[in-house]
Amino acid sequence: NALASILKSGEVLTLAGEGNELEGKKYWMFKVVGVDKVMSKEVDEITNNHALIGVLVDSAKLFDSSVTSTGLALTIFSNASSLSARQLLYQKESIKEDNGWAVALLEEEGMTQFPSYSIKLNIKKELGWQEVDKELVFNALLIGVGVTLLIIALVRAKDQQSKELKQRNVVIERQVAEQTKELALTRDQALEASRVKSEFLASMSHEIRTPLNAIIGMSSLLEETPLNTEQKNYISVFKKAGDTLLSLVNDILDLSKIEAQQLVLENISFNLLETVEESVEIYALKAAENDVELLCHVDEEISINRMGDSARLRQIILNLISNALKFTEQGEVVVRVSEEPNDKDGETLRFSVSDSGIGIPAAKLDAIFASFTQVDSSTTRKYGGTGLGLSISRSLSEMMGGRIWVESEEGKGSNFCFTAKLDAVETEALEATNNTLTGITVLIVDDNAVCRDIIKSKLLANGAIVHEACDAEQVNTLFKNKDEIKPDIILVDFKMPTMNGFEFIEELKSRGLSSKLIMMLGAADLNHNMSRIKEAGIDAYLIKPIKRSELIQQLEFVQSGKTSISSAGTKTAGENADLKPLKILLVEDNPDNLLTISAILDSIDKNYITAESGNEGIEKAKKEKPCLILMDIQLPDLSGIDAVKKIKQIPELAQIPVAALTARAMKGDREEFLAH
């Protein structure tokens, strides 16, 4: 009451806490609540009409010391159940100056009634400038300025960069334009150089081949004339030199063509078996002379009709056989063709030429495929050669989608292999020629196991029953052990170590053997043994290396009871005697070549006429109406091609076949001539 009497309605009296212990941190706040209009100075009145609310505020607990600090807004409401409205007990406006305690009626709309005597505190702090961390602001400003400067710098740098780029582009474009001009000039010069090189090659090849043709042709003709031994020797020397020179020119020409990318492979269908067997046959005589067995085996399983360049394939095979024979003094050289083991579609074939010669040191195995490289250059004197063959073979096999390599051991021999992709040609159901020997028993007698194996596989593929023996002794054991063996045909090798083929046949005959007999012998042995073959009652002979088709044909022949001595082997000139001579027109201006070709024609066919210029050739063709024209391409007046064109325009001469005679062998020459 005392307090109420001294307080005006709405006033707040704050009393500091009692004693020292509170240190002014606890406050009692009293408030008289009542209605203003009835307020009077009379205590009683006040007492009766007003109530006093007291709240102890522990500032230390509630607000810490900040109650009095500036910037802090503090509001305390009380909501006594006895009161009709929320009362503001204390409000300190911070921003304004310390305005002391204020108690006011808070009239809030939608006010909720607190539970009895509850007090609600609201504390707000407004941040004053003085309280802001200046350093932080300064740093933030600094960073802000820094970032802005950086962005400006970046934008400027970008501008600068794009400007520089533009300038540089202009410079580069100018340089590119200049370089393109230079390149075009260089390309033109290179093309011109290549054209000049090709022309040089063409003319060099022509110029060298023309006299060589005369040398080789004439020496061949001279060799046929009656000569004493000394003269024969001299001629064989210059014929050999001519041949070497020709193969050298051919090799150099091939190499230059490959390097100038002038060499284009043909892709036409060919018979693989024939190509390989004919290539091997070329060296048959040489092998027989050197006493080296030359064998050939094309796997029975692979299809024979293939697409590719048979001439170039032959060139690689010939080169490898020639090397093998060159470096092999005894033993054998075996040519094999099989499917490449790692190739799934069967289009890639593997060709191998193995020999039992001097071999190649391991260190030189790779080097020998480089141009002009030989294992030992001193061998050139002994064996001849230029070191170009393998390099050309490598390029050719690579052009055929394959590769070439060698396995070799010094002193034991070498095995040169190459692969080539040669697509098989689909042939309309070829006549099944297999199994034509079904049920026929054949005995092979040969000391060479590889040779026996090759013949055996050919015979087995044709359905024959095959027995083999390496000599007479083995034949005896064979007959002794198996009485039922009665061979229909016996194939006997001529050259065997203990007794030769004739002696062996004598022995067989003495036992009363009734089998048919076929002798196998090398080309070099044929001539001196021809009469002996007939005398010995042999049914047929085969020349080694034996061709698959010939072997089967001869066996079929002999089995059917015919003697085929005259049909096997090479045809003699006499066999052509009944052919009528053809009238041939030879047009050639070079006197040496004219003489050479005339001499060759003389030896085979005397019915020919000659002309030495294009116009003369046309006149003679009109007059003589030949069956064949041999036309030189480079003629003094009009070219061979123009002469042929004119001849073809004359209806009665249009069908005469024309063969071009030329030493021109560059890319496109052949096609150009054939096109006319």
Least CB distance from residue 168 to ligand ADP, whole Å? 54
Closer CB to ligand ADP, 211 or 361, in the complex: 361
Q: Which of residues 350-369 bind ligand ADP (CB under 6 A)?
A: 355, 357-358, 360, 368
Spell out a b/e string for 132-153, using b for 16 or more CB atoms within 10 Å of the CB, else e.
eeeeeeeeeeeeeeeeeeeeee
The strand pair at 26-33 and 51-58 is best described as antiparallel
Q: Which of residues 326-345 bind ligand ADP (CB under 6 A)?
A: 327
The one among 74, 76, 288, 375 contacting ligand ADP by CB under 6 A:
375
**Is 474 an interacting residue with respect to ligand ADP (CB under 6 A)?**
no
Say if CB 388 and CB 372 are below 8 A apart.
yes
Closer CB to ligand ADP, 375 or 526, in the complex: 375
> Token match 């709240």: residue?
55
**Is 389 an interacting residue with respect to ligand ADP (CB under 6 A)?**
yes
Say if CB 549 and CB 526 are below 8 A apart.
no
Closer CB to ligand ADP, 390 or 517, in the complex: 390
Instruction: Describe the strand order of the beta sheet including 584-587 as a list of residue ranges.
Output: 608-611, 584-587, 628-632, 658-661
Least CB distance from residue 323 to ligand ADP, whole Å? 3
Q: Which among 19-27, 215-223, 388-396, 464-472 is the span making contact with ligand ADP, rule CB under 6 A? A: 388-396
The one among 308, 387, 522, 545 contacting ligand ADP by CB under 6 A:
387
E strands in 112-183:
118-125
Closer CB to ligand ADP, 378 or 514, in the complex: 378
Say if CB 544 and CB 294 are below 8 A apart.
yes
Q: Which of residues 390-429 bind ligand ADP (CB under 6 A)?
A: 390-391, 414
Least CB distance from residue 182 to ligand ADP, whole Å? 40
Q: Which of residues 261-320 bind ligand ADP (CB under 6 A)?
A: 319
HEC per residue, 308-357: ECHHHHHHHHHHHHHHHHHCCCCEEEEEEEEECCCCCCCCEEEEEEEECC
Q: How many other C-beta atoms lie within 10 A of the C-beta of residue 320? A: 27
Q: Which among 278-286, 385-393, 465-473, 562-570 is the span making contact with ligand ADP, rule CB under 6 A? A: 385-393
Q: What would the two tokens of residue 415 be?
A: 């095995």
The one among 75, 78, 213, 323 contacting ligand ADP by CB under 6 A:
323
Q: Which among 55-63, 263-271, 340-348, 371-379 is the span making contact with ligand ADP, rule CB under 6 A? A: 371-379
Nearest C-alpha neighbor of 519 from the set 549, 495, 488: 495
Closer CB to ligand ADP, 63 or 416, in the complex: 416
- Let me know if 158 is exposed, middle or buried by CB neighbors in 10 A (0-12, 13-18, 19+): exposed
Closer CB to ligand ADP, 9 or 391, in the complex: 391
| Phi, psi for 366 (deg, rounded to 5) | -85, -40
Q: What would the two tokens of residue 555 be?
A: 């066996």
Q: Which among 57-65, 118-126, 372-380, 478-486 is the span making contact with ligand ADP, rule CB under 6 A? A: 372-380
Least CB distance from residue 250 to ligand ADP, whole Å? 12
Total residues interacting with ligand ADP, rule: CB under 6 A: 20
Handedness of CA 132, 134, 138, 139 (dihedral sign): negative
> Token match 């060589």: residue?
212
Say if CB 26 and CB 60 are below 8 A apart.
yes
**Is 374 an interacting residue with respect to ligand ADP (CB under 6 A)?**
yes
The one among 210, 379, 564, 610 contacting ligand ADP by CB under 6 A:
379
Rg (CA), the chain: 58
Least CB distance from residue 248 to ligand ADP, whole Å? 9
Give residue number: closest CB to ligand ADP.
Answer: 385
Least CB distance from residue 360 to ligand ADP, whole Å? 5
Binding site for ligand ADP (CB under 6 A): 319, 323-324, 327, 355, 357-358, 360, 368, 374-375, 379, 385-391, 414
